[in-house]
Amino acid sequence: MAEEEKRGSEGAPMGRRAMLGMLGLGAAGLVAAPRLQRGWEGFLAAASQHDATGLTGLLPDPGGFRYYSVVGSVPHKDETDYALRVGGLVERARTYTLADLRAMPQTRIVHDVQCTDGWRVERTPFAGVPLAHILDDAGVRSPGAAIRFTCFDGAYSESLTLEQARRADVMVALSMQDKPITHAHGGPVRLYVAPMYFYKSAKWLSGISVTDKVVPGYWEERGYAVDGWLDGADRHDGEA
């Protein structure tokens, strides 16, 4: 403990060296863990297990995206075990399988993806079920006014007002770049909120709960704005 405090007092450079060392451990761990050998995504997943603070996000992905997770390891889910639970202030609580979601009306949006860290991927197609359709299926009841999203990584969460959630450019996404969403990108199902910064687009989506007021999400509790609008995005809720 005393040693940690002494290191801490030496400031940021030590922290960064320690972090790079941990990334090295991540790469070494990959060699010893064949299950994680899934190419670049596997490397990023292994590295992130030693990088809860986001340095992994500085590693460029060939597609322009960067891998983000606030936890080290996230279970893999597919048609055999994926479930999306819709509850809270609704008339009919629902649980959707991947097959259920695929059978519902689909929408496709091509929009630029933008992270608050500064990277951007232009004209990225996402497709899936409009969130408004899922909300109508469950039936929002009074005093429902906001949505809380939870994830099967066990840690991340996000929020939207009901008005934002009903926009046509907000979806429960099943595909990204016209391919099923990979595990690294939050598959098999992630939220996609096209008009807002990408942190609003919760990966590994597992829960949609209607609440009476906005419950700030994971990053929002740590200083991010609950208002995640991209500059120039259509801010006229309900017109989309």
Ligand X SMILES: Nc1nc2c(c(=O)[nH]1)N[C@H]1C(S)=C(S)[C@@H](COP(=O)(O)O)O[C@H]1N2
Give me the residues that bind ligand X (CB under 6 A), please. 65-70, 115, 151, 153, 156, 185-186, 198-199, 201-204
- The reply on whether position 83 binds Mo ion by CB under 5 A is no
Contacts of 79 (CB under 8 A, 6+ apart): 97, 98, 99, 188
69 binds, among ligand X, Mo ion, none (CB under 5 to 8 A by kind): ligand X
- Of 96 and 219, nearer to ligand X (C-beta) is 219
Of 55, 71, 115, 168, which lies in the binding site for Mo ion, with binding defined by CB under 5 A? 115
Residue 234 CB neighbours (<10 A): 13
Q: How far is the CB of 4 from ligand X (least distance, A)?
A: 26
* Whether the Cβ atoms of residue 50 and residue 22 lie closer than 8 Å to each other: yes
126 binds, among ligand X, Mo ion, none (CB under 5 to 8 A by kind): none
* Whether the Cβ atoms of residue 206 and residue 158 lie closer than 8 Å to each other: no
Q: What DSSP element (H or E) covers 172?
A: strand 170-176
- Of 3 and 231, nearer to ligand X (C-beta) is 231
Q: How far is the CB of 91 from ligand X (least distance, A)?
A: 28
153 binds, among ligand X, Mo ion, none (CB under 5 to 8 A by kind): ligand X
Distance between CA atoms of 174 and 208, rounded to whole angstroms? 15
Q: How far is the CB of 188 from ligand X (least distance, A)?
A: 13
Q: How far is the CB of 77 from ligand X (least distance, A)?
A: 13
Establish how many alpha carbons lie within 13 A of residue 198's alpha carbon, considering only the half-sphere containing its beta carbon: 22
Q: How far is the CB of 198 from ligand X (least distance, A)?
A: 4
- Of 67 and 199, nearer to Mo ion (C-beta) is 199
SS3 per-residue string spanning 79-141: CCCCCEEEEECECCCEEECHHHHHHCCCEEEEEEEECCCCCEEEEEEEEEEEHHHHHHHHCEC
Q: How far is the CB of 156 from ligand X (least distance, A)?
A: 3
Distance between CA atoms of 123 and 120, rounded to whole angstroms? 10
111 binds, among Mo ion, ligand X, none (CB under 5 to 8 A by kind): none
Q: Any idea which residue has 């994971």 for tokens?
A: 218
- Of 36 and 226, nearer to Mo ion (C-beta) is 226
Of 199, 201, 203, 217, which lies in the binding site for Mo ion, with binding defined by CB under 5 A? 199
